[in-house]
Amino acid sequence: MPVPATHLLVFSLLLFSIGMLGVLTRRNAIIILMSIELMMNAANINFITFSRQLNNLTGQVFSVFTIAVAAGEVAVGLAVVLALFRNRDTIYVDQVHIMKG
Amino acid sequence: MTASAAIFYVLASIAVLSGFMVIGSRSAIHSAIYLVLTFLSVAGVYVLLEAEFVAAVQVLVYAGGIMVLFLFVIMLVNLQDSLGDRIRLHATVSGVVGLSVVGLILYLYSRGQLVAVTTASTLRQGGNLQAIGVSLYRDYLLPFEVASILLLVSMIGAIVLARQKS
């Protein structure tokens, strides 16, 4: 008997909540990006679970797209972190809360 | 409990525990290593769910590409003081928010019952990779091309953002 879908969804829920906790509690911008990656992985697990559940490959195709989007997001996000470190000498998000203008 | 179910529970516990370590460890390098562990366990879960192609992409793109990017940036930034990294003030608020979201979703799960099914053998004819390839290049050709443009744009954007001002 395969793993019931509810357990997979709970697993994905746990990963998503851990990612959300990281985004909400950490100050280091790199760790926040890592937590966003955890949340995207949780979304992918949901896609693939329902792909199996509904006998439809669309979920797997969509998770490939999600991985592509995640790769682009990490590249731009880490570039922003680098630019931030170069200009402000910090990557802690609560030290850059004042905007110019 | 069958072997695949047992493997799933082991992999899921490893992924959740290392996910906790990602947001819990003091050093960013340790977080990155635990993130690799999480990604590999999730890839194992994909294999159990008969999504072999996505599992391979997960290992190649996430554990290979994205993590190298993370490690490079961590070493470039090289912050000494990673102590006191957490926002103590917000910990209670975020704990309440997170627990209520978890409770809400668990309640919604408990309302409905989902039984496990196996993928139809028609999907497995010619293997997972071939089925995904056909679906990707026939039904989702336009999104596929848009994804390539998105990757190009993010590559150019990252170069422009991160380059030294001369």
SS3 B86: strand
The reply to whether A43 touches chain B by the CB within 8 Å rule is no
Q: What is the mean pLDDT of chain B?
A: 82
Least confident of A75-79, B58-62, B75-79: B75-79
* Residue B1 sits in the same domain as residue B72: yes
Residue ending a domain, among B57, B82, B107, is: B82
Q: What's the CA gap between A89 and A25, in Å, rounded?
A: 21
Q: Which residue of A has its CA nearest to B8?
A: A3
The reply to whether A41 touches chain B by the CB within 8 Å rule is yes
Is position B99 within any domain?
Answer: no
* Residue B61 sits in the same domain as residue B129: no
Complete domains list, chain A, with CATH: 5-95 (1.10.287.3510)
Q: What's the CA gap between A53 and B37, in Å, rounded?
A: 26
The pLDDT of residue B1 is above 90: no
Is position B93 within any domain?
Answer: no
Interface predicted TM-score (ipTM) over 0.95: no
The share of chain B scoring above pLDDT 70, in percent, equals 81
The widest CA-to-CA distance across chain B, in whole angstroms, is 63
Do the chains contact at B28 and A5, CB–CB below 8 Å?
no
Q: What's the CA gap between B120 and B113, in Å, rounded?
A: 21
- First and final C-alpha spacing in chain B: 63
Q: Would the pTM of this model clear 0.95, i.e. be above it? A: no
What's the pLDDT at B166? Answer: 63
Q: What is the tally of structural domains in chain B?
A: 2
What's the pLDDT at B125? Answer: 56
Q: What is the domain extent for residue B67?
A: 1-82
Work out the average pLDDT over B8-19: 92
The pLDDT of residue B69 is above 70: yes
CA B19, B60, B4, A16 dihedral sign is positive
Q: What's the CA gap between B42 and B10, in Å, rounded?
A: 11
Residue ending a domain, among B22, B54, B82, is: B82
The pLDDT of residue B91 is above 80: no
Is position B10 within any domain?
Answer: yes
Using left for φ > 0, alpha for ψ between -120 and 50, and beta otherwise, residue A89 falls in left
Please tell me the distance in Å from A99's CA to the nearest CA on chain B.
18
Do the chains contact at B154 and A72, CB–CB below 8 Å?
yes
CATH no. for residue B18? Answer: 1.20.120.1200
B140: which chain A residues are within 8 Å (Cβ-Cβ)?
61, 65
Is position B1 within any domain?
Answer: yes
Least confident of A24-28, B35-39, B92-96, B153-157: B92-96
What's the pLDDT at B94? Answer: 74
Is position B94 within any domain?
Answer: no
Residues paired with residue B86 on neighbouring β-strands, in sequence order:
A26
B113: which chain A residues are within 8 Å (Cβ-Cβ)?
6
* Residue B1 sits in the same domain as residue B59: yes
Residue ending a domain, among B54, B82, B110, is: B82
pLDDT in tens, chain A (101 residues): 578 888 899 999 999 999 999 998 888 889 999 999 999 999 999 999 998 888 888 888 999 999 999 999 999 999 999 888 888 888 888 888 777 66
The reply to whether A10 touches chain B by the CB within 8 Å rule is yes
What's the pLDDT at A42? Answer: 95
A5: which chain B residues are within 8 Å (Cβ-Cβ)?
114-116
Q: What's the CA gap between B53 and B164, in Å, rounded?
A: 38
Q: Which tens digits make up the pLDDT trace of B100-153? A: 888 888 887 777 766 555 555 545 555 678 888 888 888 899 999 999 999 999
What's the pLDDT at B87? Answer: 57
